[in-house]
């Protein structure tokens, strides 16, 4: 009798719900942690004096670590069992949460976020595996629907809860939201998670390949984020990028030659699956990139509180959660590329609307524009996953599932990283152009300066400080306008990328159509 059967015998038919509640506590905690930090970014920047290229590591580091450790999940479960893997990951996550909340400097804070992300990469696939085990075949769709709802609700409510905590206390409070749920999940796991029953030695794990992947991610992301700060021709940046590329090349070779690679790259020889993975990559970039940009924009430029910045995202998150069930139902009944292309078009349209934001954009205008994009993302995820996996033979489905999730999370890490760099660079360019365009001798400039001096004088500013004060106000206004234009460019970049993503969506659709008509997967990948 299997361990799961023994647990059913002990707890009865309701065991499946006890197991589901156990893993969902971990999943919700860690999914919320993915985006909850974004509403605290402005306060953290102020506390440690960080630029966008530095503070974005709090999100990028989490996503990159999560991307890598997702590939180690299967080995951890085989080696330690589900219960021990889950409990160990939860306790390390709690430790990293306290480390983040008590961090005295930005370096330790970033390390804590990387640790959190690494454990999230272990827990999320484990939750899906457990739900699949405890539900019978005719109820697995229901179980996975509950899991999917939890995955989507986390980002929907996380920023709002985080905003409330930041406003009531400070940014450190967001790190203490998850630990109580993790401790409860840990205690429930002692009773409801299946143990490792096999006495066989654990399978071999490609630690060398895994190390190459981690090295490639860290060096490339570090090189990209530090290029603008240190100069793209600096020795450190060039060495990091070169080392990252070489490590990535080594990882590809290792994955192709190893008997048990951490990622089976042969699934990408299927053009349809490769196209679907590219769409998944862009989906992750759009979801996490926009979730990073919006709270920073509304707090630093519109003066929103952290709570308000979370609330502006909540309608969009709830709409995305509501879209998931009917889209999953439609995926089996219509060609998936139709839903994917509609979703891409909606997100591109939403990003183009957001490219028109300025300091006068109303709360509900922003909320509706963001909501349109989230509905689009909700239309993409189920069909791009199902359509891509549909193209693979049965023996490659587990590898394909890991690859598509890897692609989505990798897109999130690079999306946040590159958007933060792009925002910084475009802000500098626009600010410099605005400064160069100022001509103090013109009548309009003299009149504006005169009016500003009168305002400062009425405010009680001493005469000796009137001139410097006016220059300071003008400088802040110019930088603020440059910052707005940088955000506008960033959202327009997202729109352009999602328009270009229609091409791989079309390619994926062509292969899915052929597969459904012929009833056979693409022959380039064999079992």
- Give 149-169 pLDDT, tens digit per residue: 677 777 778 888 899 999 999
Q: Which pLDDT belongs to residue 13?
A: 80
pLDDT digits 0-9 by tens, 262-272: 888 888 888 98
Q: Which pLDDT belongs to residue 332?
A: 67
38, 86, 116, 287, 421 from 121: Cα distances, Å:
19, 11, 9, 17, 25
**Chain mean position to CA 156:** 13
Mean pLDDT computed over 494-514: 88
Q: Which pLDDT belongs to residue 526?
A: 39
Q: Which pLDDT belongs to residue 523?
A: 41
Least confident of 107-111, 210-214, 436-440: 436-440
Q: Which pLDDT belongs to residue 527?
A: 39
Does 447 score more than 70 pLDDT?
no
Q: Which pLDDT belongs to residue 438?
A: 67
Does 393 score more than 70 pLDDT?
yes
Mean pLDDT computed over 216-242: 89
Torsion-angle region of residue 202: left (phi > 0), alpha (psi -120 to 50) or beta?
beta
Does 338 score more than 60 pLDDT?
yes
Computed over every residue of the chain, the mean pLDDT equals: 84
> Which DSSP symbol is given to 525?
S
Choice between 175 and 521, residue whose per-residue pLDDT is larger: 175
Q: Which pLDDT belongs to residue 522?
A: 43
pLDDT-derived band at 10 (thresholds 50, 70, 90) equals confident
Evaluated on CA atoms 178, 179, 184, 187, the torsion sign reads: positive
280, 342, 358, 490 from 362: Cα distances, Å:
32, 27, 9, 19
Structural contact between residues 367 and 312, judged by C-beta atoms closer than 8 angstroms? yes
Does 225 score more than 90 pLDDT?
no
Q: Report which of 365, 353, 317 is spatially closest to residue 491, judged by C-alpha positions.
A: 353
Structural contact between residues 54 and 105, judged by C-beta atoms closer than 8 angstroms? no
Does 256 score more than 70 pLDDT?
yes
- pTM for the complete prediction? 0.82
What residues have CB less than 8 Å from 123, skipping those under 6 apart? 23, 26, 27, 30, 86, 89, 90, 93
> What are the residue ranges of helices labelled H in 169-270?
179-192, 207-230, 235-257
Q: Report which of 23, 224, 32 is spatially closest to residue 134, judged by C-alpha positions.
A: 23
What is the Cα–Cα distance from 335 to 340, expressed in whole angstroms? 9
Task: Report which listed range, 242-246, 336-340, 428-432, is most confident.
Answer: 242-246
Query: How much of the chain is in helix, strand and coil states, percent to nearest 5?
Result: 85, 0, 15
pLDDT digits 0-9 by tens, 20-76: 888 888 888 888 888 888 899 999 998 998 887 788 899 889 999 998 998 888 788
Structure tokens at 173: 């409070």
pLDDT-derived band at 472 (thresholds 50, 70, 90) equals low
Choice between 239 and 135, residue whose per-residue pLDDT is larger: 239
Does 517 score more than 90 pLDDT?
no
What is the Cα–Cα distance from 28 to 161, expressed in whole angstroms? 13
% pLDDT > 70, the chain: 86
What is the Cα–Cα distance from 192 to 364, expressed in whole angstroms? 44
pLDDT digits 0-9 by tens, 90-144: 999 999 999 999 999 999 999 999 999 999 988 887 877 787 778 776 676 566 6
pLDDT digits 0-9 by tens, 182-211: 999 999 999 888 887 666 777 788 899 999
Task: Report which listed range, 230-239, 366-375, 441-450, 505-514, is most confident.
Answer: 366-375
Choice between 328 and 208, residue whose per-residue pLDDT is larger: 208
Q: Which pLDDT belongs to residue 365?
A: 93
Q: Which pLDDT belongs to residue 115?
A: 96
What residues have CB less than 8 Å from 163, skipping those under 6 apart? 39, 295, 305, 306, 307, 308, 309, 310, 311
């Amino acid at each position: 009798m299997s361990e799961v059967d023994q647990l059913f015998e002990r707890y009865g038919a309701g065991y499946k719900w006890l197991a589901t509640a156990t893993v969902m506590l971990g999943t919700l905690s860690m999914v919320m942690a993915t985006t909850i930090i974004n509403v605290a970014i402005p306060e953290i920047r102020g506390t440690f004096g960080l630029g966008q290229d530095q503070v974005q590591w709090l999100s990028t580091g989490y996503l990159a670590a999560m991307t890598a450790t997702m590939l180690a999940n299967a080995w951890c479960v085989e080696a330690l069992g589900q219960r021990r893997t889950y409990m160990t990951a939860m306790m390390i996550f709690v430790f990293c949460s306290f480390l983040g909340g008590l961090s005295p400097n930005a370096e330790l804070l970033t390390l804590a976020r990387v640790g959190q992300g690494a454990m999230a990469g272990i827990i999320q696939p484990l939750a899906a595996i457990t739900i699949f085990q405890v539900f019978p075949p005719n109820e697995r769709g229901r179980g996975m629907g509950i899991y999917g709802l939890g995955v989507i609700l986390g980002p929907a409510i996380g920023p709002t809860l985080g905003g409330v905590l930041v406003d009531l206390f400070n940014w450190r409070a967001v790190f203490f939201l998850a630990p109580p749920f993790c401790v409860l999940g840990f205690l429930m796991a002692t009773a409801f998670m299946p143990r490792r029953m096999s006495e066989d030695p654990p399978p071999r794990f490609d630690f060398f390949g895994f190390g190459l992947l981690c090295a490639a991610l860290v060096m490339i992301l570090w090189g990209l984020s530090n290029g603008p700060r240190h100069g793209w021709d600096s020795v450190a940046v060039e060495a990091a990028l070169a080392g990252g590329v070489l490590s990535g090349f080594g990882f590809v070779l290792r994955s192709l030659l190893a008997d048990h690679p951490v990622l089976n790259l042969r699934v990408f020889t299927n053009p349809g699956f490769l196209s679907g993975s590219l769409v998944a990559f862009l989906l992750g970039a759009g979801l996490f990139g926009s979730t990073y940009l919006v709270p920073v924009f509304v707090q630093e430029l519109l003066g929103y509180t952290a709570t308000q910045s979370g609330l502006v995202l909540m309608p969009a998150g709830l709409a995305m959660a509501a879209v998931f069930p009917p889209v999953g139902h439609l995926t089996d009944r219509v060609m998936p590329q139709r839903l994917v292309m509609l979703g891409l078009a909606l997100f591109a349209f939403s990003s183009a609307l957001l490219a028109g934001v300025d300091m006068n954009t109303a709360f509900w205008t922003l909320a509706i524009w963001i909501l349109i994009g989230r509905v689009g993302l909700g239309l993409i995820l189920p069909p791009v996953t199902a359509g891509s996996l549909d193209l693979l033979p049965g023996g490659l489905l587990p590898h394909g599932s890991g690859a598509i999730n890897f692609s989505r999370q990798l897109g999130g890490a690079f999306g946040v990283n590159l958007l933060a760099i792009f925002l910084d660079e475009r802000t500098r360019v626009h600010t410099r152009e605005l400064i160069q365009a100022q001509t103090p001798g013109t009548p309009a400039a003299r009149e504006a300066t005169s009016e500003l001096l009168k305002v400062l004088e009425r405010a009680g500013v001493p005469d000796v400080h009137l001139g410097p004060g006016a220059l300071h106000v003008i400088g802040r206004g110019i930088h603020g306008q440059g910052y707005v234009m940088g955000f506008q460019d960033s959202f327009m970049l997202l729109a352009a990328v999602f328009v270009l993503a229609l091409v791989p969506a079309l390619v994926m659709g062509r292969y899915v159509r052929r597969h459904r008509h012929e009833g056979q997967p693409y022959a380039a990948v064999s079992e």
